Every structure is written in C-alpha cells, then in structure tokens.
Amino acid sequence: MAQHERGYKGPLMQPGIILLREGTDTSQGRGQLISNINACEVIADAVRTTLGPRGMDKLIINHNGLATISNDGATIMKLLDIVHPAARTLTEIAKSQDAEVGDGTTSVVLLASEFLKQAKPFIEDGVHAQVIIRSYRQATALALKYIREMAVTVNKGDKDELRSMLEKCAATSLSSKLVARQKSFFSNLVVDAVMLLDDLLPLNMIGIKKVQGGALEDSQLVAGVAFKKTFSYAGFEMQPKHYENPKIALLNVELELKREKENAEVRIENVKEYQAVVDAEWEILYEKLDKIYATGAKVVLSKLPIGDVATQWFADRDIFCAGRVPDDDMQRTRKACGGSIQTSVNNLTDDVLGRCEHFKERQVGGERYNFFTGCPKAKTCTIILRGGAEQFIEETERSLHDAIMIVRRAMKNDTVVAGGGAIEMALSKRLRDHARTIPGKQQLLIAAFSQALEVIPRQLCENAGFDATDILNKLRREHAAGPCWYGVDVHKEDASDNFAAAVWEPAIVKINALTAASEAACMVLSVDETVKAPTSDVAGAQAQGGGHPGMMPAGRGRGMPARR
C-alpha cells in the first residue's frame, strides 16, 4: 500500500502495537504533503479573482441566510468557514495581515499559495522539504533586504508632501474596492480623519456610523463626536436640542426608580412606614438630580438608563440628557470634550465636566444624531457613511477600514513603494539574478521563489481581462533594462511607471505580506503527517464493539454489557 493512501499504518500504528485510540486516521509521507498543497491552492482560487482594481466581488451567504458582498480577502476567508487544517493556515495569515496593516490580504494568500505551487514539482521529484524551506527563507531575507533598499522615503517635515503621500496610499488601497469611483473623495476624508488623532493613532477613536439613504458623497467627517439618539423616555422632546459652549456631565450612574428585588423583604406595621420607604426612594433620586443640576451642566450623558422621571425633571430645567450611551461613544466623547466618566454624583467638580463649542441634535437620513463639535481636546472623529443597500454600506465600511489602516501605517513608516505589481517584478528580477550566482538545488528553488512573485502582476492582468503573457513580457523587458517602477496599468492595458502614476503603497505592507506568506508556506511544507483523532461517537462505538462505527455489535442489545 502506498504511504500516502488514507489509513496507512505509520510508526505510531504498527500491527500489534497500538499507541493511538482505535479509529484514529493517520496520513503521512509525500502524498500527504501534496494533498495539503492542493488544498491551499483551492483556497487561493476562491479569492484569486478579487485582486486589484478590476477584481470581482464575492456573494457569501452564511448558515443564517445573511448575505455579504465583499472583495476583501480577510473578510472572505473568515466567512468561508474552512475546515481543512492546512488550508486554515491561509485564513490565519489573511487575518494577521488585516490586523497588522489592513490591506494586502488577498495578495498574502495568493503569494503563499504560489510559493507552495512552485514547490510541488520539487516535492514530487524527491527533494526534501527542509531543503525547500531553507531556500525559501533565504530568498525571503534577500527580498526584504531589496525592498528596504528600493523603498522611497518621504519627508515627514514637509506637511504638504506628507499629506500628498498619505492621499496617494489611501487612493491606491481604495482603487480595488467597491468605492473606487469615489476614491478621491474618500481618500481625503480618511487622511483628514487620521490626522485628527493623537500621536498613538488609536483606531478606536475613529467612529464609523452607517445611515442608509443618500449618495456616497453625502458621507461626512465630524471633527468631534456624533452618535445616534439613544433610547428615550417621555419628556425627551421637551428638552433643548441645541447649545453653545455647554458643560457636559459624563456619568455611569442610573437615574431612575428601581423596583425591589424579588427576594427583598421590608416589614412594616402601618401605612406611614410604607410611605416613608417610598419617599426615601424619591428623595434619593431627587438628591442625585439636584447635585447634577448644581454643576451647571447642560448636557448629561450616562452609560446606564435615565428614567422618565429624570428625563422630565431635566426638561423642566432646560437640560439635555441621554441614557444608555454605548461605551465606545462615551469614550470618544470623553477624549474629545475632556472631563472624566463619574460613577457617583457626590463629587461633580468643574474639572470633571467636559466642554464643547456646539452641541446639536439633527436629522441624518432617517435617524437623529447628537453632534459634539468644536471640542477643545478633539483627538477623535466620527465618519457618517451614507449609501443605498445595507450590504453596500457594510462593504464601504470595510474599504474605509483598510484605507485608514494603510494611512496609519504610512504615517508611522514613511517609506513607500510602487503598487500594481511593480515591486513584485523588481524583486523577481533581482532574485532571479541572484539565483544564477549560486550552485546546487538552491539555485532552482530561489528561481522558483522569484517566479512565484509574478503571480501578483499576472493576476492583475487576468482580472482586468488583459493578455497576461504579453504584459508580463513587457514588464520583464523593462526591469531587465535597469531598476525601475514599471507595473501593470489597468487603465491603458499596458506596462507603465506606477510610481510616476502615484500608485503607492507603504513598504511595510509588502514586507509584512511577503514575510507572512513565506512563513505560512514553510509551515505547510514542514508537515509530513496528519493524525486525526476519531469523533466521540466513532470512538465509543468502536471501543464497545470493535466493528463499524455506524453498526451495533452482534449479540448485544441496547444497554447490554460487552462480551469479554
């Protein structure tokens, strides 16, 4: 029996020596390695057509019937619910790329798959996997060195040059998204949003709110905080909805009458004692409200509910209140307006209150939103997205998330490279030249690694409907003539200088993608055996009867002891 056939008894399952539970499935050897590579190629085929400005979208429907339309590699990989253990590695690297730099999630999956595809013929010819892994790691180190040498540094001291670089990086990220036609509008909006943050550039300080209706260009950036009107009680409409220079009280206090617990017990002997208990509850509530009113606060926000009594009490005194404010909105309000969130009303001094120039509640589409603008410590912002269908707005949010991550990375790392397959072709050429200078199997393996890098420009051409062979030959000719930034031009159906065309990407995106893809490929290549434990029902049936897991052992009924 061939080693790679299913059920092969490996070293752990020799006849007569059983170390693993009965029913354990082990597969090993060269056939198992080829099987894992094939599984990774199938996964890459699922996202291959989403790459680039002419990439197609995927419609994925989950088990609940919820439809998602996206061309974001990480989103698709998460929704596919992959069960193959080796192929799941590609899901993990897509997630890590999304968390680390936000963009390049499809590229990292394609690169990892192509590295494995190029290694497959060597595995079939008997080359040991460790030789391939060693060569791939050497090629990755050389490629990262070349990227750092070729990357162009942008002068951060020049504000205009820095902003221009950030806008180009954001536009490049958005060019492959659903909102590509509005990329100039959104790239400006994203750069403005990131530049409003503090030096740490915290992602959670950019709030994204989605309101259906209107056009994409109706989306707006609020230099401050905006959140949807919270659940309100009777009396809310009587409150003022506009203030100039108000003080803002940020609370984590419940302002409503609470009924007793079910197991609470109060022993009373007459009606007066009962009245005293009721009056005490009201006095506690009114005491809290009086202390808030004494601070001079005109806007009261609380994470916990504010009941109808308190709502009407505040309305009578021209105070706006909102209860059940989400924690992330409350944190952004605190960051923008200053002050601190109080868990008690006993020490509401002036320094714990927030302030802003303008507070206003106004209509946005079919929703009402509370706006805090002109904040003295505005290190936060809110993007209100408009659009048609819910799936369209969801995809717009994912696109903006990628662009925001790219701009954040570009601000922290001021080196950029040309996109559109330009950097991959440059690396491929340099690695191919290096491979010719070394002897042995490594020459072939590093050349295979360099050829794998061409998957990015080739796929860009195929997704745009171009002749990939013709354009890749042009690119090879241009790069062979000397160092250049020539890549695929999807608008002219030709090869052109993508750096001059402002198709820029932060160098960290390519460094991270190449590192993650190489690590994933090496990990898959290092696995030569899969041991699959039986499920509990299979193990139980076989342990009791030793027969087929789906059959009851002969001579036994339900509940009868096993024969010994």
| 529 touches 27 (CB < 8 A) | yes
What does the DSSP 8-state code read for residue 204? G
Strands 320-322 and 299-302: parallel
With vertex at residue 168, the alpha carbon angle to CA 164 and CA 170, rounded to the nearest 5 degrees, is: 115
Q: Rounded distance, CA 236 to CA 311, Å?
A: 6
3-state SS string over 548-561?
A: CCCCCCCCCCCCCC
Q: How many CB atoms lie within 10 A of CB 256?
A: 15
| 224 touches 372 (CB < 8 A) | yes
Strands 299-302 and 247-251: parallel
Burial call 187-220: b when 16+ CB within 10 Å, e when fewer: bbbbbbbbebbeeebeeebbbbbbbeeeebeebe
Listed in sequence order, the residues at least 6 apart from 408 whose beta carbon sits closer than 8 Å to its beta carbon are 102, 194, 201, 203
Listed in sequence order, the residues at least 6 apart from 539 whose beta carbon sits closer than 8 Å to its beta carbon are 21, 22, 23, 533
3-state SS string over 261-327?
A: CCCCCCCCCCHHHHHHHHHHHHHHHHHHHHHHHHCCCCEEEECCCECHHHHHHHHHCCCEEECCCCH
| 414 touches 156 (CB < 8 A) | yes
Q: Rounded distance, CA 299 to CA 354, Å?
A: 9
CA-based nearest residue to 335, from 205, 227, 247: 205
Could you tell me the CA-to-CA distances from 546 to 16, 64, 403, 516, 540 in Å, in that order? 15, 39, 58, 45, 9
Q: Determine the 3-state secondary structure of 418 from DSSP.
A: strand
Q: Rounded distance, CA 305 to CA 301, Å?
A: 10
Residue numbers annotated as active site: 72, 105-106, 402
